[in-house]
Amino acid sequence: MGVSPSASDQRLTTMSQAIDSRPAPSEANPFHIAQRQFDEAAEYLDLEPALRELLRWPRREYKFTIPVRMDGGGTRVFHGYRVQYNDALGPTKGGLRWHPEETLDTVRALAAWMTWKTAVMDIPLGGGKGGVTCNPKELSEGERERLARGWMRVMARELGEHRDVPAPDVYTNPRIMAWMMDEYEVITGRSHPAVITGKPLVVGGSVGRDDATARGGVLCVREACRRTKVNPRGTYAIQGFGNAGQYAALLHEDILGGGKLVAVSDTSAALHNPDGFDPRETVDYKLRNGHLAGLPGSREISSDELLALDVDVLYPSALENVITETNAGDIKARIICELANGPTTPEADEILNRAGVHVIPDFLANAGGVTVSYFEQVQGTYNYYWTLDKVHRELEANMVNAYRAVCKMHDEQQVHMRMAAYLVAVARVAEAVKIRGWV
């Protein structure tokens, strides 16, 4: 499985041939995309066929029905899922999404990506994901509670701090995690705070979870400035001003010792101020008004103009596929920290790499959240809770080590940062599979 730099070009050629000879995957199917990304890394690492076949599929998946008694009388049947993609490195871990368009394939893809995310962070967990096809906005609080407890009743036997640990994701929240933990404890008759993470503090949540995703990304940016000699007190722009974007604005200057926030955007507007926005006032304005439009001292620009600003650091923190073949050539940022999932298309990655832009790929840049979720699991298992200072110190050590491991692979193999992150992650899972004697 070792990768010889001298063989890298030849392997890349073989990789393209191997990939091109397969039937084209449906680009709309996220699991096909996840498999294709894995296939590229597997080809590069020259993994043997059985190991490849094992890692390109989930180890276990559950698809089931959840009957829920509705407030107006009668019962509605929901479809639920849990995919335990790979547990060679440890118990599987990953969020629960409640979404009208949830399918088994979206859950499979997200479970695969969780596997690579925990592996690149070198935390002793595998990857999983779960969900329910539903529109939670149409459900009352009582219906949501019965759905959460119903999901747990079906899955309880397959979960546990040493098996599989869910967490919140799209349209699920700490309250739902508390109901699920409670149902699990009713079923097992014991206390199990580590069976699920993202819980409210009063029932075993961890301090430091709120800003963990942004904190992890900004710590990578600090390391990236040192590595690339970019001015850490330079300019930065943030696309998307929700949980991840707002915390990035607040933490950037703290962690880097300065900096000037020159542009921000949300769905209401993209705004520019070359003299710099005050991050605290900008967050307060957004919280007070629910949007950024009308922020004093700003000039409205287009979304593409924001991405093309001449800044030291750009944080895409909103959506997938915003940096594409069409606009990647206009990007002037020296460092891109992908707090959002999937903001850069594969074609854009190549363009950015050729232009020397340092990209911190999503599953490294936004892994602070799952890392603090792991800390919550550890604290719950010991039933002993850490101080905020300890959470911050542990997170910093994990992020810095992961960032450096990816940079080392990037330097040694001369691949772009996203491929380097895949190589680190897939190699770790593959090694664990082999050492266990699965193949």
Active site residues: 129
- Residue 17 exposed, middle or buried by CB count within 10 Å (0-12, 13-18, 19+): exposed
Q: How far is the CB of 117 from ligand NAD (least distance, A)?
A: 9
How far apart CA 152 and CA 213 sit, in angstroms, is 27
Q: With b meaning 16 or more CB within 10 Å and e meaning fewer, what string describes 65-79?
A: ebebeeeeeeeeebe
Q: How far is the CB of 211 from ligand NAD (least distance, A)?
A: 9
Q: Which is nearer to ligand NAD, 43 or 362 (CB)?
A: 362
Listed ranges 78-86, 129-137, 263-271, 413-421: which one lies at the site for ligand NAD (CB under 6 A): 263-271
State which of residues 51, 340, 357, 432 lies at the interface with ligand NAD (CB under 6 A).
Answer: 340
C-beta separation of 264 from 292 below 8 A: yes
Q: With b meaning 16 or more CB within 10 Å and e meaning fewer, what string describes 263-291?
A: bbbbebbbbbbeeebebeebbebbeeeee
DSSP per-residue letters across 388-419: HHHHHHHHHHHHHHHHHHHHHHHHHHT--HHH
CA-nearest of 382, 385, 380 to 184 is: 380
Q: How far is the CB of 337 from ligand NAD (least distance, A)?
A: 11
State which of residues 14, 133, 228, 303 lies at the interface with ligand NAD (CB under 6 A).
Answer: 303
Handedness of CA 333, 337, 341, 342 (dihedral sign): positive
196 phi and psi angles, rounded to 5 deg: -155, 145
At 11, which amino acid appears?
Answer: R
Q: Which is nearer to ligand NAD, 210 or 394 (CB)?
A: 210
Q: Which is nearer to ligand NAD, 337 or 423 (CB)?
A: 337
State which of residues 102, 105, 266, 349 lies at the interface with ligand NAD (CB under 6 A).
Answer: 266
How far apart CA 344 and CA 362 sit, in angstroms, is 9
Q: Which is nearer to ligand NAD, 265 or 353 (CB)?
A: 265
Interface map 211-250 toward ligand NAD (x if CB under 6 A) = --x-------------------------xxxxxxx-----
State which of residues 366, 371, 373, 413 lies at the interface with ligand NAD (CB under 6 A).
Answer: 366
Does residue 381 touch ligand NAD according to CB under 6 A? no
Listed ranges 18-26, 177-185, 200-208, 338-346: which one lies at the site for ligand NAD (CB under 6 A): 338-346
Return the SS3 of 89: coil
* Tokens 């967050």 found at: 283
Handedness of CA 93, 200, 366, 168 (dihedral sign): positive
Number of residues that bind ligand NAD (CB under 6 A): 20
- For β-strands 270-277 and 299-301, DSSP reports them as antiparallel
Which residues 306-335 are close enough to bind ligand NAD by CB under 6 A? 317-319
State which of residues 339, 399, 421, 424 lies at the interface with ligand NAD (CB under 6 A).
Answer: 339
Count other Cβ atoms within 10 Å, centred on residue 54.
17
Does residue 341 touch ligand NAD according to CB under 6 A? yes
127 phi and psi angles, rounded to 5 deg: -120, 140
Q: Which is nearer to ligand NAD, 269 or 335 (CB)?
A: 269
Q: How far is the CB of 438 from ligand NAD (least distance, A)?
A: 29
Does residue 14 touch ligand NAD according to CB under 6 A? no
Q: Which is nearer to ligand NAD, 142 or 290 (CB)?
A: 290
Residues that bind ligand NAD (CB under 6 A): 213, 239-245, 265-267, 303, 317-319, 339-341, 366, 369
